[in-house]
Amino acid sequence: MNTEQYVSWFRSTSPYINSNRGKTFVLALGGEVLAHENFAVLLQDIVLLHSLGVKVVLCFGAERQIKDALHKTGNTVTESNGRLILGEQAVNIAAATYGEWRSRIEAVLLKNSATAQHRGTPVRAVSGSFVTAKPFGVDNGVDHEHAGAVRNVDVRGVRAQLDQANVVLIPAIAPSPSGELFSLDGKELGRELAARLGADKLILFSENDGVLDNQQLQRELSLAQARELSARNSDPNLACAISACEAGVDRTQIVSFTNSSALLTELFSLNGSGTLISHDPFEVIRDANIDDISAVLDLIAPLENDGTLVRRSREKLEDEIGFFAVIERDGRVIACAALYPFADASSAELACVVTEPEYRNSGRAVKLLEHSISKAREQRLSSLFVLTTKAAHWFQENGFIETGINALPVSRQTLYNNQRNSKVLVRDL
């Protein structure tokens, strides 16, 4: 990457830095993540998130490590319903394992926050009795002993620590009100923390890039799409993400722990690197407002510069922004179109149909066209017309017919620029 590319990339991250600042992320790590060579790099990235103003809750499971410890001490490993069944001796081994890993994580976080890159933003990792547990109980005749589930989360206590810029570190083991220890499922713990805290994101980690369908990465899934995919996909991260969305978590992101750049790419680039599962639409068509003017100007400027579009001043756009619709993707405007009604002819001009270069040929312009047609019909208009110098074929492919200047409303004919020699196309509604 040369200097110009680096500066361009750095500029592109600023919207995501700003949008993530002050947000609460719950990151759920499993034992396979703790055992991977990228674990230290992942913690370094978590320190970076903290330095950028993200409120971090880090919960972790350690089933793999507990199994290893049980084997080493001659204990039998028993599982049911995907949970470790732990007796009195085994749960004490589990508690010691979690204590060891909590200390390791705290040490790595402190070490990374003390480096030159992060000096001045020390990370204090705080643990405590933020979670209480309840027994999983007897299921299908099997007593799960010290396998448990989340009973309660001290939401006020966690938020108080986050407000003091502390990273909250929560192992997947917790006491019950009676003082017994119960081992928790790490993903379920992450889901419960995110839901009860009202977190902005739950981040899960996978050996894959994200959720796969027929070996193809699914970059974005609505809740409905995720439910449909789950019928043929047994990915536990997908099941957890669906459950989190149903519990009120707006966004769950599943990223690779085997790719050392996956977390930052997912959070600070437009397309991300993993799978985003969203309770609400992450891409919407809506009416533009005064806050969109800069974004629309950025979209249309390259086409104004090459003569494809007639140049609009900022002042003119401020007057006309009410005629525009935009496609907003994850808080960023990536396409626009304008609809100018002409009451004297019961028709409207469709103009400024522009999509950001990396999203062209993706169907978004067609969606804006359909949105504009719907709005024109609501206004009881009978036709749409366009004037174009370079996109006539696209409009013809979408139902427009080339005609002449005389087909324009009289008030629009007087504004026709003969030097541009734009083609006129009409679509009846």
170: left (phi over 0), alpha (psi -120 to 50) or beta: beta
Mean pLDDT of 42-68: 93
In the numeric block, the tokens 């979670």 are attached to 131
| Mean pLDDT over the full length of the chain | 89
Distance separating alpha carbons of residues 400 and 393, to the nearest angstrom: 9
- Indicate if the pLDDT at residue 131 is higher than 70: yes
CATH fold for domain 284-428 = Aminopeptidase (3.40.630)
Per-residue pLDDT tens digits for 239-274: 999 999 999 898 999 999 999 999 999 998 877 899
Mean pLDDT of 225-238: 92
Domain spans of the chain, in order of start = 16-281, 284-428
Per-residue pLDDT tens digits for 350-404: 999 999 988 888 788 999 999 999 999 999 899 999 999 989 999 999 999 999 9
> pLDDT category, 146, cuts 50, 70, 90?
confident
Per-residue pLDDT tens digits for 207-224: 999 999 989 999 889 888
CA 187 from centre of chain: 18
CATH of domain 16-281: 3.40.1160.10
Q: Coil, strand, or helix at residue 153?
A: strand
More confident residue, 272 or 149: 149
CA-wise closest residue to 195 among 261, 248, 135, 262: 248
Residues whose CB falls within 8 Å of the CB of residue 18, separated by 6 or more in sequence, listed in order = none
- Indicate if the pLDDT at residue 238 is higher than 50: yes
pLDDT of residue 281: 67
DSSP state string for 287-353: E--GGGHHHHHHHHHHHHHTTSS----HHHHHHHGGGEEEEEETTEEEEEEEEEEEGGGTEEEEEEE
> pLDDT category, 116, cuts 50, 70, 90?
very low
- Indicate if the pLDDT at residue 182 is higher than 90: yes
